[in-house]
Amino acid sequence: MRVVIAGGHGKIALLTSGLLSGRGDEVVSLVRDPAHFPDVRAAGASPVLCDLERASVDEVAEALRGADAALFAAGAGAGSGVARKDTVDRAASVLFATAAEAAGVARFVQISAIGLDRVTGDEVFDAYLAAKRAAEEDLRSRPLAWTILRPGRLTDEPGTGRVELSEGPVSGAVPRADVAAVLVALLDRPGTAGHVYELVSGPTPVAEAF
């Protein structure tokens, strides 16, 4: 399987790349900074320089051409302001999905977040939630075999391989390593297309969670 990841230098993306490449899949990671190339290569992926805040649809489609699946794992990250929540968490997702359509890549998995209907009073965090919500709405409208994964609060603790995966609301935390394991499982399961899953730590082995 050839998978193209947007936001390939993110922690979840690097973990997912390692799992995929470790079993023999081909991973291409789009990153905006050449300084990130060594980390991406160390995870077993091939880096491609592509700034999703500036790239054209044609440029991104070229990177996607021939892929079996697209994974949107980009995010503005901590310390970014309201404007970048929109340009990365929403607009980059829209660009990546548009490019996937143009490249003929039907399978599309998107990392989102739980609790998107919340209003916290924190201007930046509420902008993040609104951007993720808009990205989901855009993706749902497209003729792609999309799946949306909404992890809970992310931690860097070791993965347990056990989760709670639900199509209803859940709350809690989840290690990034377990998010990566679930993403690989989603990519392996085309029957999950058209579903939105919420994910936190739980009692069920990932292989049995679907």
Which amino acid makes up residue 164? Answer: E
Mark out the alpha helices in 43-199 (DSSP H runs): 57-64, 82-84, 93-103, 123-140, 176-187
Alpha helices in the chain (DSSP H): 11-22, 37-42, 57-64, 82-84, 93-103, 123-140, 176-187
Residue ranges of domains in the chain, CATH in brackets: 2-208 (3.40.50.720)
Q: pLDDT value at position 77?
A: 85
Over residues 126-179, the pLDDT tens digits come to: 999 999 999 999 999 999 999 999 999 999 999 999 999 999 999 999 999 999
Q: Residue 143 — φ and ψ, nearest 5°?
A: -85, 50
Position 78 scores a pLDDT of: 80
The residue annotated as part of the active site, out of 37, 128, 146, 197, is 128
Distance from chain centroid for Cα 58: 21
Dihedral sign of CA atoms 7, 13, 14, 19 in order: negative
Say what the pLDDT of residue 79 is. 81
Has 197 been annotated as catalytic?
no
3-state secondary structure of 149: strand
